[in-house]
Amino acid sequence: MVIGGDHPGLAIARSLGCIGIPVYILEDQHSIATYSRYVESVIRVKDVRDQEKTVDSVLEVGHRFGLEGWVLFPTRDENVAAFSRSRDRLDRFYRVTTPPWSTVQWAWNKNNTYVLAEQLEIPCPKTWTVRCVDELRTFDSRLPLAIKPAVKENFFYATGAKAWRANTPEQLRKWFDDAARQVPVEEVMIQEIIPGDGHHQFSFCAFFKDGKTHSSLMAQRRRQYPREFGRAATYVESVDIPELEELSERFLQAIDFYGLVEIEFKLDPRDGQYKLLDVNARAWGFHGLGKAAGIDFPLILFADQLGMELEPRRAEPGCGWLRAVTDLPAAASEMLRGHLAPRDYLDSIRRTRAESVFCWKDPVPWFAEAFLLPFLVLKKHSKR
């Protein structure tokens, strides 16, 4: 049972469905996974964003279709929080891949993440919280700064942004006020901006169990959209940076993590340190790169839930993953601004081993997305 039928959920369905494992997808909107040959059923419910309603729907659908013992795969942060907080209810019927709340709380709230990282001596950006707008005067000398949420769920759906850049005191106050209208003031973070675009962002991606990494992939976010505070990667490439693994394992061991995880870092050119930005306690957007680079993350987690052992693996470097529908405008913008040479763009296309939606053996979702794209764009803008 996969919660969410966008491209991350589609990649899970293809991973398992291609070897005959039945896959159901639970959604509250139309999704491209509906058109996949590897999805047995897409079940529409009213709401998979509200945590309590999501758990109720998952259990109701499970009983209705006889899915006892099936493995749950969340693809969104709010689903992770819902499953984590309701493990006692879900465990009686499903195989739950989400850790308990005592673990997830350290990934769910970035204030918790950064506090723990500091205790573990893991570098992270300087971050502050304030109680009211009057306290912002003390930050004028530190500009530019980013305004971002400690818990991104409600903020992201309301604004469509991961963070806002404040270059002036006036902007800092405006963005703070706007953020405080979307989330509780104690969840509004003021953070230093680490120089650099997506080229400076890296991820440690893994299946983690029993205090150690079972299988891992490290990736560099070569392109993203928007350029500075990317909502999502548009082109990433597998790399091999042992330091990322050491820092990530230190954090994951401290919170007793189990399952699939992506930890995001940014390389600070000022001091050469990889600084922790975010922890995603679920399958991440480009997890499909894993299979192309030699690691089938959904299958590894599924097998572990059923008590089967698979050989540990480490991803092959130099493999690319592309989200064409967002990478084309991102790459065009980069080339127009002189940040990306056409030859480098073509080289990245040659290194691409996986596209987020297109698959020769399952092409219909790609055509469906292309056909539905204007409608989806208009719908997204109408919600803002």
Is residue 369 one of the residues assigned to a domain?
Answer: no
Mean pLDDT of 203-209: 98
Is residue 31 one of the residues assigned to a domain?
Answer: yes
User: Residue 375: what pLDDT?
Assistant: 67
Q: What CATH number corresponds to the domain at position 174? A: 3.30.1490.20
Contact between residue 188 and residue 147 where contact means Cβ atoms under 8 Å apart: yes
Domain that holds residue 79: 2-98
Looking at the fold, whether 34 and 147 belong to one and the same domain comes out as no
Looking at the fold, whether 61 and 210 belong to one and the same domain comes out as no
Is residue 381 one of the residues assigned to a domain?
Answer: no
User: Residue 243: what pLDDT?
Assistant: 97
- 156: Cβ–Cβ under 8 A, 6 or more apart, which residues? 149, 162, 231
Give the number of other CB atoms < 10 A from CB of residue 229: 16
Mean pLDDT of 348-358: 97
Per-residue pLDDT tens over the stretch 240-281: 999 999 999 999 999 999 999 999 999 999 999 999 999 999
Is residue 9 one of the residues assigned to a domain?
Answer: yes
Looking at the fold, whether 205 and 182 belong to one and the same domain comes out as no
Is residue 103 one of the residues assigned to a domain?
Answer: no
Mean pLDDT of 215-233: 89
Looking at the fold, whether 248 and 335 belong to one and the same domain comes out as yes
Per-residue pLDDT tens over the stretch 337-346: 999 999 999 9
The fraction of the chain above a pLDDT of 90, given in percent, is 88
Is residue 373 one of the residues assigned to a domain?
Answer: no
Residue 108 has pLDDT above 80, yes or no: yes
Q: What predicted TM-score, i.e. pTM, was given to this entire model?
A: 0.95
Looking at the fold, whether 245 and 318 belong to one and the same domain comes out as yes
Looking at the fold, whether 184 and 204 belong to one and the same domain comes out as no
Tell me the average pLDDT of the chain. 94
Q: What CATH number corresponds to the domain at position 84? A: 3.40.50.720
Question: What does the alpha-carbon distance between residue 371 and residue 348 come to, in Å, rounded to a whole number?
Answer: 26
User: Residue 227: what pLDDT?
Assistant: 79
Is residue 321 one of the residues assigned to a domain?
Answer: yes
Is residue 104 one of the residues assigned to a domain?
Answer: no
Question: What does the alpha-carbon distance between residue 342 and residue 29 come to, in Å, rounded to a whole number?
Answer: 37
Which class for 105: exposed (0-12), middle (13-18), buried (19 or more C-beta within 10 A)?
Answer: middle
Q: Confidence class of residue 325 from pLDDT cuts 50, 70 and 90?
A: very high
Per-residue pLDDT tens over the stretch 146-166: 999 999 887 888 888 889 999
Question: What does the alpha-carbon distance between residue 383 and residue 142 come to, in Å, rounded to a whole number?
Answer: 34
Looking at the fold, whether 93 and 166 belong to one and the same domain comes out as no
Contact between residue 291 and residue 15 where contact means Cβ atoms under 8 Å apart: yes
Question: What does the alpha-carbon distance between residue 201 and residue 276 come to, in Å, rounded to a whole number?
Answer: 10
Looking at the fold, whether 268 and 344 belong to one and the same domain comes out as yes
Count structural domains, the chain.
Answer: 3
**Domain-ending residue, one of 171, 192, 213:** 192
Looking at the fold, whether 215 and 265 belong to one and the same domain comes out as yes
Looking at the fold, whether 351 and 208 belong to one and the same domain comes out as yes
- Within 13 Å and on the Cβ side, how many CA atoms surround 228? 12
Q: Confidence class of residue 384 from pLDDT cuts 50, 70 and 90?
A: very low
**Domain-ending residue, one of 98, 118, 134:** 98
User: Lowest-confidence range among 61-75, 90-104, 131-145?
Assistant: 131-145
Looking at the fold, whether 54 and 150 belong to one and the same domain comes out as no
